[in-house]
Structure formats: structure tokens, C-alpha cells
Chains A and B, each alone.
Chain A
Amino acid sequence: MTDSSGPLLAVDGTPLKRKLAQSMFRSRARAFGLALPLLAFIIVVFVYPILDFLRQSVYDARFATLMPATSEVMADWDGSTAPTEEMAVALVADLVVAKKEKTIGKVATRVNRELSGTRSLFTKTARSAKKMKPPFMEALIEKDRDWADIETWQAMKTASRVYTPAYIAAALDRKMLADGSIVRQSEERRIHVQLFAKTLEISFLVTIFCLILGYPIAFLMASLPLRTSNLLLILVLLPFWTSLLVRTTAWIAMLQAQGVMNDLFVVFGLATDEDRFSLIYNKTGTLIAMTHILLPFMILPLFSVMKTIPPSYVRAAKSMGATDWTAFWRVYFPQSVPGIGAGALLVFILAIGYYITPALVGGQDGQMVSNIIDFHMRKSLNWNLAAALGLVMLVFVMFLFWVYDRVVGIDNMKLG
């Protein structure tokens, strides 16, 4: 007999509520414990290295560690008054040490990024720094006229900052001056913002094309009987088993000026032999190849969602007098929206980060942000700028994701 005047008790006397909470906690802890190794692995192998690398977008201690005395003296300098003898003394002392430790190259490269041409200035001066006698400022200027130029010292001041917004500013087409202010880059140096806009444009267009091409295919696959639909599914999955690089280079053979598509156009009279369509090494090539490669990522979520839509609703709508189009648009389509949401998000995120395809078929106008990040990683070795570009990209994509959540809703997304 339960005691209706007090809280419910379990068999061992503890209140039922607390017992329930305890057992729920235990089962959640068990679930978390099972996932813990994977979480630890991902944090160590994925999250931590990425965060460590992104730190380079705001942190660059090379100049400050390799030229400590100079950096310390520079900290008090305002960047606009004439450089003092104290600064020259510190500089020469540091140069002597840097030459001996063979770190002068790193210092020179760092300052060269702020002011072109200072690399050889530093290496040349360092070679004779040991023999210099006070007054050092005059000795420096005698070695090379550029030391009298305040820009050289300003470049060093900017380089000596350990935590600096300069790279993120550069990623947004801005420049940080010696006094700390941020101004827009000159007209012909503005590339990044434009590139971000173009990347978004290309990703957006690829998503739309994938949707237009993928929806009918998924619809067909979902409505056909099982055997045919399985065959179609295999045909959609087949490209996944071919290397991405092979597929992209196949497009080169198809779309090039003397390629298959243009030959067909000439045969059918749509183009003349001398004036063939330019379908590759430009934005068109990028769009075509990326749509082809990302299509399965749109078709599969759509297919799996459409498979769960009961056909009886459409039949019911038709039995109540709806036309084919109304039945589709007002009954079938709204139920497939979660699939569209999933497919579009997947394709869009993949397209934004795409690198290989624009690199091979993009020419000069199908370039995306990933290509310039690659350039800074592999060719110019400016890893700080690459990290800054990556950070800006990450922040922007997360912002878009938040917008998507507000507009469409994460819950309104199914993968089947």
C-alpha cells in the first residue's frame, strides 16, 4: 500500500525521484564513457592542431624572440618621431647575435613581409654588424642609406608585435600601420574580400545546380520499385568509387577547346571550328566539374528522406481533386524540405572548402579562397596569413550556419 501523504519511495527507502535521477545519470555517464575515447581522439588529433594552427593568425613571436633588445626598445617608440641612437645600439647588438646563431634569415624574411626589400638590407648589415663602432646610427646609415628611412624602423616596429591583428587585417584587405591604425589596402592590392565573395557565389550556384539536377533523380529513385531503384542507387554511388582527381581530369578532356563537347558542338553546328566555346580554365569549368562531383551528396539525403514520405498523402490529395502539380507542390514538396535542407547544407559546406577542382579547371576566374590559402601555405610560406584566411572563413561559415539555423532550423533537417 502506497503512503499517499509523503513522496514516493523506492524499494530501498530512497525517494523515487532521486533514484530515477541517479539511474538516468548512470546511464548517461555510461553513454558518455563509451564515446569518451573517440572524443579524446578527435580533440587531440583534430581540434587541438587546428586551434594551434589558427593561433598563428594572431600570434607571431619570431621577431620578438630573435631580436629581443630591439623589440624592447621599440615598444616605447611611437613610430613617428625620428629613430634614436638607443634603438640603433639595440639593433646592432641583436644583429650580431642573430648572425652568430644563424637566425638572421628568419628575421629578415619577417621584416621583408612588412616592407619589401628589407631582406637583403638585414642580411647585408648583419654580415658587418660585428665590426660596427658607435655612434651606431651613423654606422648603420653609412652601411646602407635605407637605415635613415623611418619606414624601415616602422616595419621593424610592426614586426615586433607578438599579438598582432595585422594578418587578419590583411585577410580582409586592410593594412596595419606602425602606429597601430588599420587602413584599407590600395586598390590594386585588394584581393581577399573579392575572393570570399566569389567563393560564396560559386558555392551557392553549385548548391542550386545540384538541387535542380538532383531533386528529379532522387524523386525517380524514391518512386520506382525496389529493384530498379537499387540499380539507380548503385549508378549514383559509382562515382564515389572513382578517384576525385581522375574525375576532374576527365572533365579536362571533355571540356577543353579540342575536346569531346566542343567537337559535338561543331558537328551539330552550334559553334564554328575556329570559335569554339571556352568551357574550361574559367568559372564555367569550375561550376560544371564541381556540380558533377557534389551531386551524389545532394541526391543521397534527398533520396533517403523521400523514401520515408508515404505515397498515400499524394493519392489522398489527388482523390480530393488536386491537380498533379498542386499535389506535388503542396503535399509532397513540403515533406521533402528536411532532405533539401540536409543536402543543401552538405553541398554548400563542401563546396566552400573545395580546392582540387578549382585548382585544376578553374583557370584564373574560377579560383576560390582555398587556392589562395594553398598558395600561402606552399609557395609564399606565409603561414600566418593562411591561418588568418582560414580563421575568417571559419567564422563566416559558422555565421552562415547560425543564419541557417534561424531561418530553416537545425531540427528541420533529416538524413533519412
Chain B
Amino acid sequence: MKKTTLLLAGTSLALGATSAFAGSHTGSITAVSWGGAYTVSQVEAYHKPWTAATGNTVVSEDYSGGIAEVKAQVEAGNVTWDIIDVEKSDAVRGCDEGLFMEIDPTSLPNGSDGSSAVEDFIPGSFTDCAVANIVWSTIFAYDSSVTPKGPASIADFFNPAAFPGKRGLRKSPKANLEMALAADGVASADIYDVLATEEGVDRAFAKLDTIKDIVVWWEAGAQPPQLLADGEVAMTTAYNGRIFNAVAGEGKSFEIVWDAQVLDVDMWAIIKGAPNAELAMDFLKFSTATEQLAAQASYIAYGPARKSSAPYVTTYHSNADLEMGPQMPTAAANLATAIPNDFEFWADNADELNERFNAWLIN
């Protein structure tokens, strides 16, 4: 009897003590991102500084894209995620489906050069429900230690005769169709006009047919560098930041080919019905400020979405000799034949092209 009372007293004391601390004013948000090197860059540049500045914690979760999980949470009325990093087409889609909160661009802080947020962010950074944070692109890369005389243009990617070996492609028509048309000779500015026609789509698939048998399909961003490292593929498309991290962080000898890179932006969106929506908004304003966007650039080669961040972009965090500026998709030297992703086109045609792509894959 005495032992039981002692045990009960001890437990209730412990519970009382912890609940006293739990009632303090530090909040917490759940930030969802793509995992791997990209999430590391966000943790270092956004999460840790915000926690240091406000005392709130950030719980980081990973996902692999798509807004199905968000849709499931919102429709079930049980939202556990607060803020999520989405591709632009998903941001538009999610807003259409009523999954994200609307964000007013004028409520964002000014750039460090004094310009208002609306002027400071690059064009295309705002949709009704999301704010851009980085510019990334889909490029293709090869291992220069295996192929010293490597490919120089997108046409080489589709040329198995001159450059033998397997190819890696994302298992989605996005970026693949644009690159196929570019390899077939279409100018960057005309890609989406051609793709809007039936003949254009046929042409893109015909070009993809030339390498269909030697393609290894990847879905997660971490797969392409792994495929290159394993020697499974001779060349692969990839998100540029992942290849950069394999080179800078792991000493791999991969080379990026910037020809026909497909530029896109990633955006922060706050989920409707999120449990910590106000804190999430505060985090969003903090993490899209000039210094933070420049800070993430020293961990991964993604360009800040604010023009005022450019002068603050310095070197790689662990290698002071590696200047980040030239590594960005938006560096002048890399921008020559870039294709900016047309989100309106994909929002309209994703369903049909996905269906066509799946059918093409299986046949």
C-alpha cells in the first residue's frame, strides 16, 4: 500500500512539473519539404535562425511532392501540417482546390535595399496562395570521370549512338517533353507554343521514343545522383541542387549541362485549417526575407527569389573557395537557352499529358 501511494505521488508530481513547463509561450510549426540536401539547406538557413529569433520550434517533415496528402488532411478536417514547400504547378492546383490560405504579397517585408516585396521578387513569384522562395531547374548531368569527353548540349542526351549508356529521366512528362522538343530543334521561347498543338506533343514523344529502351525512371530527387554514382546511367536529368551537393559535399566528379534547363520556382504555401497558421505566416515572412534567401544559397545551388538577395550570395558553407553565384540556374552564363516552366500550360494540360505519358510508358 505504501509503495503504491509513493509511486502515485511520484507520477503525479512528475506530470505536474512537466505540464507547468508545457504551458509556456513557445509555439511550434510543422514545415514540410522535399527531404535530403534541400531540407538541410532550409533547416540551416530558415528553421534555426527563426528558432533563435523567436524561440518557436520548427518540426521538419519530408514528402515527395504532389498535394494528395494535403488534400487528404484538409478533407478529413484533420490538418497536421502548417506550411509546405510546393512546386509552382502544385501551388496553383492546391489553391484551386481550396487547400491553401490566400497570401497578400503586400504584407511581406521589404527587401534590404528598400524595395517593396512586390518589386523585389522576380516575376512569377506570387500566386494567390503561395510565395516563391527559390529558383531551381531541371538539368542533366554526367560523370566526368566515366565520360571525360562528355555531352555539351541537350541533343547529345538524345543521341545514344554518339554517347552510349543508359539515361535517367524523371517519371513524369514535365520537363521531359520540353527537353525533347529542345533536342529536336525547337527554340526555348517557342517550346510551349509547339507543345500546345497535337503535332507538337507527338513530336516530343517521338523524340523520347529514340531513347525509351535505355531509360531508368526516377521519382525522388535523391535518386539521380545515386544512379550516376552507381554507374547505372551515363547521363540523367536531375534537380540542379542535388547534383551540386553531390559534387560539393561528397566530392563526386559530376558535370552539369545547362543547355535547355527547365526553370521553375518552389514556393511556400500555408495549408487551410493549419493548427498554427499565424506562426506559419510569421515563419514565411521571415524565411522569404532578403538575408535568409541569400543564406540558403550557401548550402545548395538554388537561386533566391528576391533580386535584393543577389549581392549577399557568397560561398559554399564548408568551402570558402567555392563561389555560389556561378552555380545558380539564374547565373548569366547558364541562362542562355533556359526554358521557364509555364505553369498555366501544365495546370491545364497535366491530366491529359500524364495520361498520355502513362500510356506511352506502358506500351
Task: Determine whether the beta carbon of A379 is less than 8 Å from that of B354.
Answer: yes
Does B206 make an interface contact (CB < 8 A)? Answer: no
Interface centre among A104, A105, A108 (most CB of B within 10 A): A105
A257: chain B residues at CB < 8 Å are 166, 230-232
CA distance A108 to B344 in the complex (A): 13
Q: Which of B137-145, B147-155, B287-295, B355-363 is found at the contact surface with chain A?
A: B355-363
Instruction: Name the residue on B nearest A173 (C-beta).
Output: B359
CA distance A195 to B65 in the complex (A): 25
Task: Determine whether the beta carbon of B361 is less than 8 Å from that of A379.
Answer: no
Min C-beta distance of B99 to chain A, whole Å: 9
Partner of A256, one of B67, B68, B232, B350: B232
CA distance A190 to B349 in the complex (A): 18
Mask: chain A, 186-207; 1 = CB below 8 Å from B; 0 = not: 0011110011000000000000
Min C-beta distance of B39 to chain A, whole Å: 19
Mask: chain B, 278-310; 1 = CB below 8 Å from A; 0 = not: 000000000000000000000000000000000
Task: Determine whether the beta carbon of B352 is less than 8 Å from that of A116.
Answer: yes
Q: Which of B11-19, B22-30, B90-98, B257-265 is found at the contact surface with chain A?
A: B90-98
Partner of B344, one of A120, A365, A377, A380: A120
Q: Taking A188-B356, A188-B359, A256-B232 as contacts, is the C-beta distance between A378 and B95 under 8 angstroms? A: no
Q: What does DSSP make chain B's interface, helix, strand, loop or mixed?
A: helix
Q: Which of B45-89 contact A (CB under 8 A)?
A: 65-69, 71
Task: Determine whether the beta carbon of B347 is less than 8 Å from that of A367.
Answer: no
CA distance A382 to B198 in the complex (A): 24
Q: Which of B324-363 contact A (CB under 8 A)?
A: 344, 347-352, 354-356, 358-363
Does B216 make an interface contact (CB < 8 A)? Answer: yes
Task: Determine whether the beta carbon of A189 is less than 8 Å from that of B98.
Answer: no
Task: Determine whether the beta carbon of B351 is less than 8 Å from that of A364.
Answer: no
Interface centre among B166, B230, B348 (most CB of A within 10 A): B348
CA distance A119 to B344 in the complex (A): 9
B96: chain A residues at CB < 8 Å are 104-106, 108-109, 119, 123
CA distance A105 to B230 in the complex (A): 44
B348: chain A residues at CB < 8 Å are 112, 116-120
CA distance A104 to B92 in the complex (A): 13
CA distance A105 to B67 in the complex (A): 15
Instruction: Name the residue on B nearest A194 (C-beta).
Output: B362
Min C-beta distance of A135 to chain B, whole Å: 28
Task: Determine whether the beta carbon of A189 is less than 8 Å from that of B362.
Answer: no
Task: Determine whether the beta carbon of A378 is less than 8 Å from that of B362.
Answer: no
Task: Determine whether the beta carbon of B216 is less than 8 Å from that of A281.
Answer: yes
Task: Determine whether the beta carbon of B68 is less than 8 Å from that of A189.
Answer: no
Does B126 make an interface contact (CB < 8 A)? Answer: no
Instruction: Name the residue on A nearest B99 (C-beta).
Output: A105
A-B pairs with beta carbons under 8 Å apart, 17 shown: A103-B98, A105-B98, A117-B349, A123-B96, A188-B356, A188-B360, A189-B355, A189-B356, A189-B359, A256-B230, A258-B232, A363-B217, A364-B215, A365-B362, A367-B361, A375-B358, A380-B354
Binding site for A on B (CB under 8 A): 65-69, 71, 93, 95-98, 166, 172, 215-217, 219, 230-232, 344, 347-352, 354-356, 358-363
Q: What are the 5 A-B residue pairs with the smallest beta carbon separation, nearest first?
A: A105-B96, A116-B352, A378-B68, A258-B231, A191-B359
